[in-house]
Amino acid sequence: MIYCAGHSIISPLGEGTQANIEAVQAGRSGLKKYTDRFADVEPFCASLFDTPQDFVPLCIRSIELALNEQIIKCENAQTIFILSTTKGDQLDLWSPAQQIAAHFHNPNPPIVVSNACTSGVCAQITAMRLLESGLYRHAVVVGCDLQSRFIVSGFQAFKALSPEPCTPFDPNRKGLNLGEAAATIIYTTEPTDSWRLVAGSIHNDANHISAPSRTGEGAFLCLKDVLNGVQPSEITRIGVHGTGTLYNDDMERIALQRAGLADVPMSVLKPHFGHTMGAAGVLETILCAEMASNSQCTMHNSQIIKMLSGFGGVNAAIRIEK
């Protein structure tokens, strides 16, 4: 078990976790239609920063917002930096991680998790293992992706993008929208008064590199693992991936039914932020955990599951306790 010691979100909806919570509660969305943002690309709908951002400074700003220097000393060798991203800084993943860690004077080589759209959850699982095995005491997990001509053209070629704001789990859903964000969670081995990461699991469908399993195989195995020690009825909320593509949402429905979780309330955040790729797992974990505590939940103990799936047939899930 590892404990949250700070978090932040920077998205087109606002700077800081609180600003983003308020935007979601007010029903605001960062999704807009773009016709000439990238050359040659067909018009698309996405959640993008008004002013194009630079990758490394954006990650640094996100980490600074999340840091509580009284608990975490970045320059300490017991702190590890973990970056979750799919495309990094214009296709370079290693150098930006190194620049971010160097900015905070961290002496360890950083770790980059690049596990497609599950990266943000996988990065937290990596942090949990490294901290639980005693190799480090603190982890700075930052997730970030910025959109580009490269990514938008590829998703369009795949016919995965919805021309309208996405409608996950709607029978008439038309596909996903891409998004930009940076989000950070600081984890530590010492108890804090915030939420804690108690379990995490990653499984492959072993079925197809770009289509989810029809039986939700990998996602089901992940859910089964993170339910170890609790009953499905104890789960208070599930943050699904909910991209709004036909196959993803159906796969998740099947996996949730197989795991006995069909009746648990679920959160879908893509209509507010789009699919923020490497940031998604970090951003959505923060919002699921923070907003669960702000709801009129009468139970003392919230048990939240966050799940994600991605290209390469990979699925990941974590369980957060509050």
Residues binding other proteins (CB under 8 A): 39-40, 86, 88, 91-94, 97-98, 109, 111-116, 122, 126, 128-130, 132-133, 135, 149-150, 153-159, 199-210, 217-218, 221, 225, 228, 310-314
Q: Looking up tokens 């959640």, which residue turns up?
A: 47
Question: Can you list the positions of beta strands (E) in the chain?
Answer: 2-11, 14-15, 31-34, 44-47, 79-84, 111-113, 138-145, 178-179, 181-188, 196-204, 237-239, 266-267, 303-310, 314-321
Q: Looking up tokens 């879908």, which residue turns up?
A: 268
Structure tokens at 248: 């993803």
Q: Please check whether residue 155 is in contact with residue 176, taking contact to mean a CB–CB distance below 8 angstroms.
A: yes
Query: Tell me, what amino acid is at 73?
Result: K
Give the nearest distance from C-beta 111 to other proteins in angstroms: 6
Q: How far is CA 186 from CA 10, 133, 178, 192, in A?
A: 15, 17, 25, 11
Say how far apart CA 267 and CA 283 lie, in whole Å: 13
Closer residue to other proteins in complex, CB, 219/264: 219
Neighbours of 90 (CB within 10 A): 11
Give the nearest distance from C-beta 87 to other proteins in angstroms: 8
Q: Looking up tokens 């036909």, which residue turns up?
A: 246
Say how far apart CA 178 and CA 270 lie, in whole Å: 9
How far apart are the two ends of the chain, measured CA to CA in Å?
Answer: 12
Helices (H), the chain: 17-25, 55-66, 94-103, 119-132, 149-157, 217-226, 246-258, 270-273, 280-294
Give the nearest distance from C-beta 216 to other proteins in angstroms: 12
Closer residue to other proteins in complex, CB, 244/310: 310
Give the nearest distance from C-beta 108 to other proteins in angstroms: 9
Closer residue to other proteins in complex, CB, 272/275: 275
Closer residue to other proteins in complex, CB, 164/225: 225
Closer residue to other proteins in complex, CB, 53/213: 213
Closer residue to other proteins in complex, CB, 48/318: 318
Give the nearest distance from C-beta 208 to other proteins in angstroms: 7
Closer residue to other proteins in complex, CB, 119/177: 119
Q: Looking up tokens 């989810």, which residue turns up?
A: 212
Say how far apart CA 315 and CA 308 lie, in whole Å: 6
Give the nearest distance from C-beta 20 to other proteins in angstroms: 27
Give the nearest distance from C-beta 139 to other proteins in angstroms: 11
Q: Please check whether residue 282 is in contact with residue 142, taking contact to mean a CB–CB distance below 8 angstroms.
A: yes
Closer residue to other proteins in complex, CB, 52/154: 154
Give the nearest distance from C-beta 135 to other proteins in angstroms: 5
Say how far apart CA 208 and CA 314 lie, in whole Å: 10
